[in-house]
């Protein structure tokens, strides 16, 4: 069978397609939820040799997994053991892209550590303040685990009240799946 010329994508490849179209050599980006480092690695490649990626996680295991994954690309990153809620203390303004991948680290041996609205909302607020005009925040939202629905509602409540003059907010995701499908939010800061 012939491969179609265009296929709809799942949320994470779609987020990466959007951000790789936006990011350029020398840019600054943030991975707000480092986990196993897949997104940090993607961002480190996208910002090139002269760019920089700040990546946050509260689990030491996440930093180790990410450092191992990055190999020599680690020189393009600053891996920070700490909450994304304090992002503005570590990251200078003028960021092109920020990625959030909410939920929990699938391979974690430690207790179930999930993202929660208590830190995710301050982190999104900080990310908005750091973003340069035309910059984009991507947020992958998973609500199928315990605590996921409360965080989803907090995030949706927050992004829905953002002033449309200043931000465009887009939601992308599967609508015809029986169990809680994840979805993607994209927030673009106005460039005028
Ligand atoms: C779904 S995982 C991220 C997956 C990751 N992007 C990857 O590529 O593997 C969510 C991560 O958020 C982290 N996390 C939870 N609360 C956090 C916080 N306040 N600040 C930063 N990271 C946090 C968890 O430890 C977990 O590793």
Ligand 1 atom closest to residue 99's alpha carbon, by position in its atom list: 6
**Cβ of residue 56 lying under 6 Å from some atom of ligand 1:** yes
Residue-range domain boundaries for the chain: 27-169
pLDDT value at residue 106: 73
Ligand 1 atom closest to residue 116's alpha carbon, by position in its atom list: 16
pLDDT value at residue 108: 58
Q: Ligand 1, residues 83, 99, 105: which to mutate, most atoms within 8 A of Cβ?
A: 105
Whose CA is closest to 150, among 98, 114, 184?
114
Rounded to the nearest integer, the mean pLDDT of the chain is 95
**Cβ of residue 38 lying under 6 Å from some atom of ligand 1:** yes
The whole-model pTM stands at 0.96
Residue 172 has pLDDT above 80, yes or no: yes
Give the distance (Å) from ligand 1 centre to CA of residue 43.
Answer: 15
Residue 109 has pLDDT above 70, yes or no: no
Mean pLDDT of 3-23: 96
**pLDDT band at 1; cut points 50, 70, 90:** confident
Whole-number Å distance between alpha carbons of 8 and 67: 32
**Cβ of residue 119 lying under 6 Å from some atom of ligand 1:** yes
Give the distance (Å) from ligand 1 centre to CA of residue 106.
Answer: 10
Q: Kindly report the CATH number that applies to the domain delimited by 27-169.
A: 3.40.50.150
Give the distance (Å) from ligand 1 centre to CA of residue 95.
Answer: 20
Give the distance (Å) from ligand 1 centre to CA of residue 47.
Answer: 21
pLDDT tens by residue, 54-89 = 999 999 999 999 999 999 999 999 999 999 999 999
**pLDDT band at 112; cut points 50, 70, 90:** confident
């Amino acid at each position: 069978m012939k491969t179609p010329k265009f296929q709809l994508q799942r949320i994470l490849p779609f987020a990466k397609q959007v951000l790789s179209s936006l990011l350029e050599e020398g840019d600054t980006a943030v991975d707000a939820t480092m986990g196993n480092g897949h997104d940090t690695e993607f961002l480190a490649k996208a910002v090139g040799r002269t760019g920089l990626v700040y990546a946050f996680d509260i689990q030491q295991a996440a930093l180790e997994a990410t450092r191992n994954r990055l190999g020599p690309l680690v020189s393009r990153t600053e891996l920070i053991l700490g909450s994304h809620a304090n992002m503005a203390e570590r990251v200078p303004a003028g960021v092109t892209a920020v990625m959030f991948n909410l939920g929990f680290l699938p391979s974690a041996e430690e207790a179930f550590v999930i993202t929660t609205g208590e830190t995710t909302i301050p982190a999104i607020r900080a990310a908005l303040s750091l973003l340069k005009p035309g910059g984009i925040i991507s947020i992958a939202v998973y609500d199928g685990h315990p605590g996921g629905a409360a965080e989803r509602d907090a995030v949706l409540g927050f992004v829905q009240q953002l002033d449309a003059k200043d931000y465009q907010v887009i939601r992308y995701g599967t609508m015809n799946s029986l169990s809680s499908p994840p979805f993607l939010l994209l927030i673009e800061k106005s460039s005028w």
